[in-house]
Chains A and B, each alone.
Chain A
Amino acid sequence: MDRIKFLGDVKIRPTLIQLLNLGMIICSALMIWKGLMCITGCESPVVVVLTGSMEPGFKRGDILFLHMNKEPIRAGEIVVYNVDGRDIPIVHRVIKAHERRDTGEIDILTKGDNNQVDDITLYSGGQLWLNLHHIIGRAIGYLPYVGYLTIIMTEMPIVKYLLIGVLALLVITSEE
Chain B
Amino acid sequence: MHSFGYRANAVLTFGVTMLALMCFLASLSDTFTVPTTSAEVKILNINWFQKQANGNDEVSLTLNVSADLSTLFTWNTKQVFVFVAAEYETPQNALNQVSLWDGIIPSKEHAKFWIHTTNKYRFVDQGSNLKGKDFNLTLHWHIMPKTGKMFADKIVMTGYRLPEEYR
Question: Is A144 a contact of B93 with CB atoms below 8 Å?
Answer: no
Question: Is A98 a contact of B99 with CB atoms below 8 Å?
Answer: no
Question: Is B150 a contact of A100 with CB atoms below 8 Å?
Answer: no
Contacts of B85 in A (CB 8 A): 75-76
Residue interface bits B9-45, CB-to-A below 8 A is 1, else 0 = 0000000000000010001000000000000000000
Question: Is B150 a contact of A99 with CB atoms below 8 Å?
Answer: no
Segment with Cβ contacts to B, from A32-40, A45-53, A135-143: A135-143
Segment with Cβ contacts to A, from B60-68, B108-116, B139-147, B155-163: B139-147
Question: Is A139 a contact of B97 with CB atoms below 8 Å?
Answer: no
Question: Is B23 a contact of A143 with CB atoms below 8 Å?
Answer: yes
For A143, the closest partner residue in chain B by CB is B147
Question: Is A75 a contact of B150 with CB atoms below 8 Å?
Answer: no
In angstroms, Cα B94 to Cα A97, docked, is 11
29 contacts between A and B (CB under 8 A): A56-B78, A56-B106, A57-B79, A57-B81, A57-B104, A57-B144, A74-B97, A75-B83, A75-B140, A76-B85, A76-B99, A76-B140, A76-B142, A77-B152, A95-B102, A96-B121, A97-B97, A98-B126, A100-B94, A101-B92, A107-B126, A139-B150, A140-B149, A141-B27, A141-B149, A142-B150, A143-B23, A143-B147, A144-B146
Question: Is B126 a contact of A142 with CB atoms below 8 Å?
Answer: no
B→A interface (CB under 8 Å): 23, 27, 78-79, 81, 83, 85, 91-99, 102, 104, 106, 121, 126, 140, 142, 144-150, 152, 154
Shortest Cβ gap from A118 to chain B (Å)? 7
Secondary structure class of chain B's binding surface, majority of residues: strand
Return the 9 tightest CB-CB contacts between A and B, nearest first.
A75-B97, A95-B99, A101-B94, A99-B95, A76-B140, A97-B97, A57-B144, A141-B149, A75-B85
For B27, the closest partner residue in chain A by CB is A141
